[in-house]
Amino acid sequence: MMTTTTIRPLASTESSQESGGSTLTGTWQLVRFIVRRDRVRLGVWTVSVAGFYAYFTFALDTLFADPVAQQGRAAVMETPAGIIMGGPGYGMDDYTTGVAMANEGITWVVLALAIMSILHVVRHTRAEEESGRAELLRAATVGRHAPAVASLITLGVVNAVIAVVSALTMVAIGDLPLVDSFAMTVGSALSAVVFGAVALVLCQVTAHARAATGMSLAVFAVAFVVRAAGDMREVGGSALSWLSPIAWAQQMRAFVDLRWWPLLISVTAIALLLWLASALASHRDFDAGLLPARKGRADARSSLRSPISLAWLQQRAPLGWSCLGLGLMWFASGTMLPDIDDMVGGLVQDNPAVAAIFGDNPDQFTLGFLGVLMLYGAAACAAYAIVMGHAVKGEESAGRAEVMLALPVARTCWLAAQLVVAGLGAAALLAVSVYAVWLGTVAVDGGGPGAGEYTAVFVGYLPAVLVYLALTAALYGWMPRAAGVGWALLAYSFVIGMFGGLFEDLPEAASWISPFFWVSAAFTEELSWPAFVGLTTTAGVLFLLALVGLRRRDIGTA
Amino acid sequence: MTSLTSARASAPAIQIENLHKSFGTVHALDGLNLTVPAGQVAGFLGPNGAGKSTAIRVVLGLLRADSGSVRLLGGDPWRDAVAVHRRLAYVPGEVSLWPNLTGGEAIDLLTRLRGRADRRRKAELLERFELDPTKKTGTYSKGNRQKVALVAALASDVDLLVLDEPTSGLDPLMEAVFTDYVRQATSEGVSVLLSSHILSEVEKVCDTVTIIRAGRAVESGTLDELRHLTRSAVSAVVDTDPGSLAALPGVHDLQVTPTQSGNRVTFDVENTQIAGVLTALGTMGVHTMTAAPPSLEELFLRHYGDGVDAADSARPVAQARG
């Protein structure tokens, strides 16, 4: 006898058509959900990238207004280092603002947008699965591919918004041609979406959000190197360049001899990557990757028995990567030294604003340039120090501080261990940055100061960098919610250090709160020991305050 | 050794008196009293948000008490934190571990920092709890992270275990393993504070129970003492109409259903009134009768279900039904 119970058929053709009962069901709701969750985050990205366009356009327009200055800049961009940091070198004979924007800016805009795209895709696909939140959604009427497609739709929209806003910004500030401006911003945005699509593929391969992010960033690094190596071979790029998505935006030749068809390569690549991601996604289980999870040690090394060895284990990976990345970057910057003299010399004659930054003594342009590099390097190390200071707060909000402090480990001992490792890490990173510039100058035989003078710079900046760590720690100890103030101080110090000379009305006292203000000018002034002692004392006092603060307050409130 | 044992026997492992703790306007602990007698397992029961974890964090010196007194292993939990932590192991309710460490590495770190790491004990516990120590803690499920903290705690040689909902992520088999180890620990003289809302677990292993609600202890004592406060559930089949039982003092929720062999009657009776009820039942021609002691579930429901506050308003409804 046939069954007489009436169970509604699961996939009646009627219902599946009406509700779109496919692997994409629920995409639209997820899109709205992502917009709701990330409106601030994406808003900040939009404003920041548009701000970069605005700043870069304005700076080029102001500092490189006349043809002599422009050709000086073009000469630098034709050097190997200029090509690595810049672009393929279209329009070098008439290096106006738009040409310079396209040649030098695209790499960095794509970098920023690619990071945004990678983080966005990983955050809304793999990270959601890993945290278990996606399980709730997927158990509801949400199709298998819906989260991935929703993350890409939102990614496309935010990149489009950024492209439009940025293009209008360039037109408004630099009075640049509208069509070329759009070509540049749209090309850059599409290149970035390519990296977002790469991230989506890698999210299927690995089961861990951090691994997916790291692998995607590595793909970007390879694309960066391939583009640079390709462009070194000949002006306008070689066949090798075309393997890199960054080149696809640059090869549109915006502001020089615009062509649109390279956009098609980006679009095709995105389509292929999406097809690949979809095929891979259909072959894996929820919360699983295609790569098996790696096994680790069953027993800890005998050295892992103290808060300080744990802090080292936690911080060594970020420190290692920072040293490698910043070291290579500063080394490349150092190799630009021989070309600097001519460029800056020409600029300073024509433009008092440049003189305010690099100094107006012709003998010291190189030193001025190196001094600016040192400030950049120290600021990057200060940023590292602030991040590591924040990581301590992260330990507490994640609940790991609670585990640690329920052991026979004093609060001061735990915090000091974290800070000592962070401080030594920041010092190591500063040493790597400073000496990498020196090695760069030595590698091209560019003259300039010797190792001893770089050591003086290192010694001068070290306590200033540590002040940022100590300040973040002290805020963490007393007012964990205000721990982000360190970033505000760094931004302020950087602007004062870089452009303080431009603001003639600025009272000197406004510079005093910047730790960098007290550091003697690199290479041109003697190392100031009173400043060294003062900054060291400040850092020391703030460290002590941090320890005292943490002893007093409740744990688990950060 | 003898001095240690006598110290364990003499003073309570944890003694909390009139403890207050506020976060802003929220009064998390409002005059809490709690004692963990030496060598005993003290259950600490309460619904989410009752203040269990806050109390435990004060006991561990992670939070500072606003007022009241807390003694932990003879010391002050805030001032003597490091010294007393040498003698205790803690398993948080929500275990966070260092994602780039494996489970085995995390266990070693925790036991080494407590002193006296015992490799054989670790191996035995890993096997009993069926935990793979080679996986990164970032890839563990909640239950497996809990196992890491449990293995690290049970592998340490301590006088006191502080366990905050330690089995909330474990399956029933692992819960049984956990219960075994708690019993083993108490047989060795270890004191245990076990917070939970799994009542059967508390019934299985605890000597005393404190029930906390809105930051204060509402019931406290041994399980037997608490049961005296409550009712037994009686079910019987009788010949005559048992409706008159409803009028007896201490009888609640009486229900009668006619069956083929007679009238089935079920009701709750306060334990102090049970003698009178049995006398009355005896005159009714009893066929079968069962009387079940109250489970902790019922104790708990009385405080948190309809609750003490709602008891008065709930009563007329129950009587009307009976």
Matching residue, tokens 């709890």: B129
Among A282-296, A462-476, B130-144, name the one with the lowest average pLDDT: A282-296
Task: Nearest by CB to B105, from A210, A304, A399: name it.
Answer: A304
**Beta-carbon neighbour count of residue B74 at 10 Å?**
15
Chain A partners of B97 at a C-beta cutoff of 8 Å?
Answer: 400, 403
Distance from CA of B108 to the nearest CA of A (A): 6
Q: What is the mean pLDDT of residues A110-121?
A: 94
Which pLDDT does position B183 carry in this prediction? 92
Residue A291 or residue B315, greater confidence = A291
Measured between alpha carbons, how far apart are the two ends of chain A, in Å?
A: 67
**pLDDT value, residue A99:** 93
Say whether residue A551 is in contact with chain B using an 8 A CB cutoff: no
Quick one: pLDDT at residue B305? Answer: 59
Element (H, E) at A282: none
Q: Which of B150, B133, B163 lies closest to B45, judged by CA? A: B163
Kindly indicate the confidence band of residue A12, based on its pLDDT and cuts at 50, 70 and 90.
very low
* pLDDT tens readout for residues B52-88: 999 999 999 999 999 999 999 999 999 999 999 999 9
> Any CB–CB contact under 8 A between B257 and chain A?
no
Q: Is B47 helix (H, G, I), strand (E, B) or coil?
A: coil
Name which of A297, A399, A406 is nearest B94 (Cβ-Cβ).
Answer: A399
Closest residue in B to A314 (Cα–Cα): B100
B291 Rama sector, left if φ>0, alpha if ψ -120 to 50, beta otherwise: beta
Confidence of residue A354 (pLDDT cuts 50, 70, 90): low
Q: What is the DSSP string of B182-219?
A: HHHHHHTT-EEEEEES-HHHHHHH-SEEEEEETTEEEE
* Terminal CA-CA length for chain B: 60
Across A22-29, average pLDDT: 85
Q: State residue A4's pLDDT score.
A: 52
Chain B environment of A405 (Cβ under 8 Å): 60-62, 81
What is the reported pLDDT for A1? 44
Mutation to test the B interface, candidates A403, A404, A405, A555, most B Cβ within 10 Å: A403
Work out the minimum CA distance from B29 to partner chain A, whole angstroms: 15
pLDDT in tens, B278-294: 888 888 888 888 888 76
Q: Which of A110-114, A321-325, B41-45, B311-315 has the lowest mean pLDDT?
A: B311-315
Residue A420: pLDDT over 80 = yes
pLDDT at A15 over 60: no
Q: How confident is the model at residue B188 (pLDDT cuts 50, 70, 90)?
A: very high
Between chains, do A408 and B82 touch, taking CB under 8 Å as contact? yes
Comparing alpha-carbon positions, the chain B residue that sits nearest to A554 is B63
pLDDT per position as a tens digit, A81-104: 678 778 898 988 889 999 999 999
> Which among A403, A407, A555 has the least Cβ separation from residue B63?
A555
User: pLDDT of A499-548, one tens digit each?
Assistant: 666 666 677 777 888 898 888 888 888 888 999 999 999 999 999 999 99
- DSSP string covering A425-454: HHHHHHHHHHHHHHHHHHHTT-----HHHH
If one compares A538 and A59, the residue with the highest pLDDT of the two is: A538
Residue A396: closest CA among chain B residues belongs to which residue? B96
* Each residue's pLDDT tens digit, A326-336: 898 888 888 87
CA distances to B231, B274, B293 from B290, in Å: 14, 13, 10
For tokens 């808003």, what's the residue? A43
pLDDT (average), residues B108-122: 89
Overall average pLDDT of the A43-67 stretch:
88
Which residues of chain A have a CB within 8 Å of the CB of B62? 402, 405-406, 554-556
Q: Of all residues in chain A, what percent carry a pLDDT higher than 90?
A: 48
Chain B residues within 8 A of A554 when measuring between CB atoms? 57, 62-64
CA nearest A207 in B: which residue? B139
Query: Quick one: average pLDDT of A225-248?
Result: 88
Q: Which pTM was predicted?
A: 0.75
Question: Average pLDDT in the A127-146 region?
Answer: 80
Q: What's the confidence (pLDDT) of residue B17?
A: 94
pLDDT value of position B49: 81
Minimal-distance CA residue of chain A relative to B116: A305
Spacing of C-alpha A369 from chain mean position? 23
pLDDT tens-digit readout, B217-254: 888 888 777 766 667 888 899 888 888 888 888 888 88
Whole-number average pLDDT of chain A: 86
Partner A contacted by B303 (CB < 8 A): no
**For residue A149, what pLDDT is reported?**
92
Q: Is the pLDDT of residue B318 over 60?
A: no
CB B177 within 8 A of CB B128: yes
Strand ordering across the sheet containing B231-238: B251-259, B262-270, B231-238, B286-292
A93-102, A241-250, B3-12, B174-183, range with the lowest pLDDT: B3-12
Nearest to A253 by CA among A209, A197, A187: A187
Contacts with A402 from chain B: Cβ below 8 Å: 57, 62, 92, 96
pLDDT band at residue A350, thresholds of 50, 70 and 90? low
Greatest extent of chain A over all pairs of C-alpha atoms, in Å: 103
Q: Which of B109, B137, B150 has the most A C-beta neighbours within 10 Å, making it the best mutation to test the interface with A?
A: B109
CB contact under 8 A, B63 and A556: yes
Q: Is B159 an interface residue toward A (CB < 8 Å)?
A: no
Question: Does residue A310 belong to the interface with chain B, where contact is any CB pair within 8 Å?
Answer: yes
Residue of A nearest to B103 (CA): A298
Please state whether beta strands B208-213 and B26-36 pair in parallel, antiparallel, or not at all (unpaired): unpaired
Closest to A386 (Cα-Cα) out of A537, A233, A494: A494
Confidence band of A134 (pLDDT split at 50, 70, 90) = confident
- Residue located via tokens 């199709």: A143
- Give me the residue from A293, A398, A406 closest to B90, CB to CB: A406
Interface list for B 202-231 with A (CB within 8 A) = none
C-alpha B281 chain-centroid distance: 36
